[in-house]
């Protein structure tokens, strides 16, 4: 695994007296360095688990989910296939778009860690800026409530053929049959 880090040395640029000077700005990091950087990030910016079983306060923007976050982690209790990963990402992206009207959800970083008993599970990490929502009072809690239904069961069943012939009674994205847990930071 090869990771490239972009480094800007402002002190070195200031000494040259110009920000147009050509300096090398990337270096290749070893997997050990990448793991160390990831550990530092995890310690400084820990993940917050989203508790969907606690109802949010009525009439308030304050929810159990922070309004501002930049990453989403989805944890599933088994190893997903590539197709299932695509469907899970599609369901989450649809829930976020439907509820928050923010930026599109990009491709996830996927890992398959093993639990204490040796069973593999799936972790999907998405970069997603919650501040991109166009809602004046974004309901991030509701977005994850919707996603917690869509990921296992699929998006809503279409009631019309507006999406094309014979689309009534189908789903845009099928679910994966597995309930996720969500984390943000």
- For residues 161-181, average pLDDT: 89
Which of 87, 51, 115 shows the shortest CA–CA distance to 178? 87
d(CA 162, CA 183) in angstroms, rounded, equals 35
Asked if pLDDT for residue 19 goes beyond 60, the answer is no
pLDDT digits 0-9 by tens, 85-120: 999 999 999 999 998 888 889 999 999 999 888 899
- The region of weakest confidence among 54-68, 72-86, 150-164 is 54-68
| Residue 2, pLDDT score | 43
Q: CA 67 to CA 50: how far, in whole Å?
A: 12
Check residue 17 and report its DSSP letter. T
Confidence at 160, pLDDT banded by 50, 70, 90: confident
d(C-alpha 76, C-alpha 61), whole Å? 28
- Is residue 123 pLDDT above 70, yes or no? yes
- Residue 18 — pLDDT band, cuts 50, 70, 90? very low
9-13 contacts, C-beta under 8 A, 24 or more apart: none
Q: How far is CA 67 from CA 98, 100, 123, in A?
A: 16, 11, 22
pLDDT above 80 for 7: no
As a whole number of angstroms, the distance between CA 131 and CA 68 comes to 6
Q: Name the average pLDDT for the chain.
A: 78
* pLDDT, greater one: 106 or 22: 106
Predicted TM-score (pTM) of the model is: 0.69
SS3 157: strand
Output the CA torsion sign for 71, 75, 80, 84. Answer: negative
Q: Does the CA dihedral 132-133-136-137 come out positive or negative?
A: negative
């Amino acid at each position: 695994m090869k990771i490239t880090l972009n480094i800007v040395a402002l002190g070195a640029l200031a000494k040259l007296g110009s920000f147009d000077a050509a300096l090398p700005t990337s270096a290749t990091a070893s997997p050990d360095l990448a793991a160390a950087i990831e550990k530092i990030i995890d310690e400084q910016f820990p993940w917050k688990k989203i508790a969907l079983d606690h109802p949010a306060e009525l009439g308030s923007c304050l929810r159990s989910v922070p309004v501002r976050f930049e990453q989403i982690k989805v944890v599933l209790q088994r190893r997903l296939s590539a197709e299932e990963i695509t469907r899970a990402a599609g369901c989450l992206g649809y829930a976020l778009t439907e509820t928050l009207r923010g930026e599109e959800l990009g491709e996830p970083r996927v890992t398959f860690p093993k639990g204490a008993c040796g069973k593999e599970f799936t972790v999907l990490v998405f970069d997603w800026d919650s501040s991109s929502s166009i809602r004046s009072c974004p309901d991030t809690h509701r977005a994850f409530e919707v996603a917690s239904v869509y990921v296992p069961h699929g998006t809503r069943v279409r009631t019309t053929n507006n999406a094309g012939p014979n689309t009534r009674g189908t789903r845009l994205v099928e679910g994966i049959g597995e309930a996720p847990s969500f984390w943000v930071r």
